[in-house]
Amino acid sequence: MRELAGWSSAAAIALVTAGPVASSARADLVFRDGDSLVVALLSRSLLSGDALDWAMSSVLFLPETAGYSALDLALPLGVNAILAVSAVLNLLALYGAIRVAAGRAGEGRAPVAWSVIALGVFGILAMTDVSASRDALDLASLQLTTTYYSSTVVAVVLSIGLARRILDCGERGERGGRTVALLITLGLVSTVATLSNPLFAVWATITVVAVLAILALRATPRAPILTMLVPLLGGTALGIVLRIPFAPWIANTGVGYAQPALWAESLQYYGRLLTERLQHPLGALGAILVVALLVLAIVGSRRAEDTGSRLVAVVAWSAPLIVVVVGAIALGTHAARYLQPVAFMPLLALVASPRVVHISVRVRSRVAAGIAVLLLVGGALSIPRLSDAASKPDVDLACVTDWVDASKRTGAGQFWTVRLPKLHLADPSHLVQVDHQLNGYAWLVNRTDFDVGEVSFLVEDSQTVQWDLPVAVVPDEVVDCGRYSILDFGEQALPLGPQRS
């Protein structure tokens, strides 16, 4: 009953969180951003039986695509509605991982309650994200998208939870089936997570291995700790090897993202993003929450009563430090999404030692009942809000898709402009992704689109770079679709240039 109550509360928190986020400026990242739509585009391509020759980044989005495809097959919903459901499920999956990290229930322990509290705090962090920019330091709300590493976040927390469970088994003297099952599961999680996204190795493997190595110096016996290195390191290595068959799909391995010589520029970049976030009251509130959790994690690592609790507490504060100092600044990166551990890792401080709060049973029951009612009411009220956000009409987008569908011709547009209309077309291949010189832009798209060879119209908006076309032509007509314009060249053919990524 406790576990059922925990999942019910987590579902309510997920709805309460998703409603406001999807109704805020962050809705652009959930429903309309060019990057955010890759999973939906890939899933649609897979389900339609297209010939597949995708140009992906270093991230393959395998769990995300499988989840989206399953929802698309199971639910009679449109694109935005599936994205909204995915946002809720991503938060539920995070709760499940946090619950594993909280350890088993026992006398004097309340892992379910503290897991629910941790997800609630994460929901508050997500609701403090107010920027429409994908480059803002608004990190928690990225978990509600299908693109910005939602499955990797879950896998990182889950791997830490599995490591904690293995340590707990060792300290209880448990051997055999349970421990072996946990070790195998840790290996599978590490393998699949690394196969899909090499960032898992940075966010989880390096950090957890470093903390385990330090804990092994003072732990007795050391065998349970050292044993965990096998599935964690082995799974990560196997995941990297399994990426080899996907090499034709990987247009960028991500190696070029690391530019240590630019560490000073990275420091200035992330400093500017932090300053911008702190200037907003909600952003400042989110920053205070993160700092408070980090302090709690440091205190918890000193007061931990067992190795498992200490592992969770230490990782809660050390992982954000390693990711910020080494993974972001020292490597000279310029992408806020790489700092997501700053938003979700400190939550582990709340479940490192999930002790029962010693108040009377009567008061505790009343408080729990009151919170449950508030969550249920809040979750119920958030459903129509989330539904409205997902079904909000976009007249300009409909204008473009209706015109393209009716024309039965093939046109083109630049990355940030064309991906949203492309996803919502009856046949997405009727819009080809190009650069400003009409070269095929092979990035997060099926390269079979470029087989058409030429196009007869262009779609542009405020994000479109001024065209530098290979031939001197004037459009026969310019169709006004609000924020979009369609440059229709009629019978004139515009040849596509060579592909680039």
Mean pLDDT along residues 411-423: 96
Say which residue the tokens 């088994």 belong to: 169
Chain centre to alpha carbon of residue 291 = 22
What is the per-residue pLDDT across 18-65, written as a single tens digit (0 to 9) for each?
999 999 999 999 999 988 899 999 999 999 988 889 999 999 999 999
- The 3-state secondary structure of 213-224 reads HHHHHHCCCCHH
What integer pLDDT is reported at residue 433 of this predicted model? 97
Residue 254 has pLDDT above 80, yes or no: no
Residue 369 has pLDDT above 80, yes or no: no
The answer to whether 101 and 312 have CB atoms below 8 angstroms apart is yes
Helical ranges in 339-444 per DSSP H:
341-344, 361-391, 395-407, 415-424
CA angle at 402 for the pair 401 and 407, rounded to the nearest 5°: 100
Residue 453 neighbours by CB distance under 10 Å: 11
State how beta strands 411-414 and 457-460 pair: parallel
Residue 175 has pLDDT above 90, yes or no: no
Distance from C-alpha of 479 to C-alpha of 501, rounded to nearest angstrom: 29
What integer pLDDT is reported at residue 445 of this predicted model? 95
Residue 410 has pLDDT above 70, yes or no: yes
Strand runs labelled E in 25-85: 54-55
Residues contacting residue 386 through CB under 8 Å, at least 6 positions apart: 15, 18, 19, 22, 23, 84, 87, 88
Mean pLDDT along residues 384-394: 93
Q: How large a percentage of the chain has pLDDT more than 70?
A: 98
Least confident of 22-26, 240-244, 371-375, 389-393: 371-375
Distance from C-alpha of 14 to C-alpha of 25, rounded to nearest angstrom: 18
Full DSSP string of 217-257: HH-SS-HHHHHHHHHHHHHHHHHHHHTGGGGGGBS--SGGG
Full DSSP string of 287-303: HHHHHHHHHHHHHHHHH
What is the per-residue pLDDT across 427-451, written as a single tens digit (0 to 9) for each?
999 999 999 999 999 999 999 999 9
The answer to whether 321 and 361 have CB atoms below 8 angstroms apart is no
What integer pLDDT is reported at residue 364 of this predicted model? 65
Which tokens go with 256?
């070029």
More confident residue, 408 or 254: 408
Q: How large a percentage of the chain has pLDDT more than 90?
A: 73
**Average pLDDT in the chain:** 92
Least confident of 32-41, 344-353, 372-381, 485-494: 372-381
Which region holds residue 243: left if phi is over 0, alpha if psi is between -120 and 50, else beta?
alpha
Say which residue the tokens 């199971």 belong to: 74
What is the per-residue pLDDT across 126-152, written as a single tens digit (0 to 9) for each?
999 989 888 899 999 999 999 999 999
Residue 187 has pLDDT above 70, yes or no: yes
Mean pLDDT along residues 233-241: 96
What integer pLDDT is reported at residue 220 of this predicted model? 66
What integer pLDDT is reported at residue 359 of this predicted model? 72
State how beta strands 439-441 and 454-455 pair: unpaired
The answer to whether 265 and 334 have CB atoms below 8 angstroms apart is yes
Which tokens go with 397?
């987008």
What is the per-residue pLDDT across 66-115, written as a single tens digit (0 to 9) for each?
999 999 999 999 999 999 999 999 999 999 999 999 999 887 888 999 99
Residue 445: which of 34, 50, 38 has the closest Cα? 38
Q: pLDDT confidence of 360, banded at 50, 70, 90?
A: low
Beta pairing partners, 431? 411
